[in-house]
Structure 1
Amino acid sequence: MAVRVGDELPGLSVRVTRAQLVRYAGASLDFNPIHWNERFAKSVGLPDVIAHGMLTMALGGRMVSDWLGDPGRVVSYGVRFTRPVVVPDDDEGALVEFTGKIGEVRDDGTVRVDVTAKFDGKTVLGKAQAVVRL
């Protein structure tokens, strides 16, 4: 696969629902009430229940691994959590949109993919970068 700096990955749009948060909590054992209890989330200053940051990160990783066709080719992946994804109590959930762009092609056969994750028009992951082997 030949890539150049600036090439874009196919985007990924995901609706995160409260039902998904419950399933993720069970899988990750992260039962923090900010992810399922609206009253508690608001009592600690959040606007409502929020998605797990690691779930949002994983969805960005899914976009990269889908593009690669093999998650084993992801060498590293890191993000900074900059803004929460607020998940309403409805059937539609919160729309999170992921895009990716080749930021660097390296001599060792790896490339850096810069990932952008947006919710409600605002970036929710900062410095989200994956290094992958082509």
Structure 2
Amino acid sequence: MSPTSTRTPVPAAGHQVEVGTPLPQTTVHLTRADLIRYAGASGDLNPIHWSDRFAEAIGMPGVVAHGMFTMALAVKTVTDWVGDPGAVRACSTRFTRPVVVDELDGVDVVFTGAVSAVEGRRVTVTVEAVSGGVKVLGATRVEVERA
């Protein structure tokens, strides 16, 4: 099982894109199992991603999602909209708050975004990620090249 997400449909190919064009909102539900799978795939086995006791002992609010996993989900929001993961030319973010993943209930992360620049075929999208009412990524930008 992978993280579950819900989103509105991607715009049709050839859709007019301009500054301010919104992306569909995407909600991703993360579970502890998702974090364990990501840890294995990435090699990041830090216990803050799977042990409440360890995370709390170092001052974390509980087990937290990998920052790079959260960023990857933000980028996926854009690539789903564009329709081509190979279209990404650059991405950047600032990790502002941890995504705390409850042992039993998991957590939802809501991604929204809008086009912030268009230069020929290059489109820059600014993405926001919110979990538990808190912004967890800041200054997230994904640059893609449209076909």
Where does the alignment leave 5 or more consecutive residues of structure 1 unmatched? none
CA shift, 1:47, in A, is: 0.9
Query: Is 1:27 aligned to 2:69, yes or no?
Result: no
Alignment of 1:1-134 (within 5 A): 1=14, 2-90=16-104, 92-106=105-119, 108-134=120-146
2:65 aligned partner, one-letter code: A
Whole-angstrom CA distance in 1 between matches of 2:32 and 2:121: 40
Deviations 1:80-111 (A, max 9, x none): 11100000110x311100011000111x4201
Whole-angstrom CA distance in 2 between matches of 1:46 and 1:103: 34
Whole-angstrom CA distance in 2 between matches of 1:4 and 1:96: 26
Deviations 1:1-51 (A, max 9, x none): 320111101121011100000000000010000000100000000110000
Once the two structures are aligned, what percentage of the paired residues are identical? 51
Larger relative contact order (C-alpha < 8 A, sep ≥ 6)? 1
Whole-angstrom CA distance in 2 between matches of 1:29 and 1:101: 32
Whole-angstrom CA distance in 2 between matches of 1:22 and 1:109: 38
Count of residue correspondences: 132
2:137 aligned partner, one-letter code: L
Moved over 2 A (4+): none
TM-score by length of 1: 0.95
Task: Give the 3-state SS of the residue equivalent to 1:124 in structure 2.
Answer: strand
Where does the alignment leave 5 or more consecutive residues of structure 2 unmatched? 1-13
Whole-angstrom CA distance in 2 between matches of 1:89 and 1:111: 38
Task: Give the 3-state SS of the residue equivalent to 1:96 in structure 2.
Answer: strand
TM-score by length of 2: 0.87
Whole-angstrom CA distance in 2 between matches of 1:122 and 1:37: 22
Whole-angstrom CA distance in 2 between matches of 1:52 and 1:45: 16
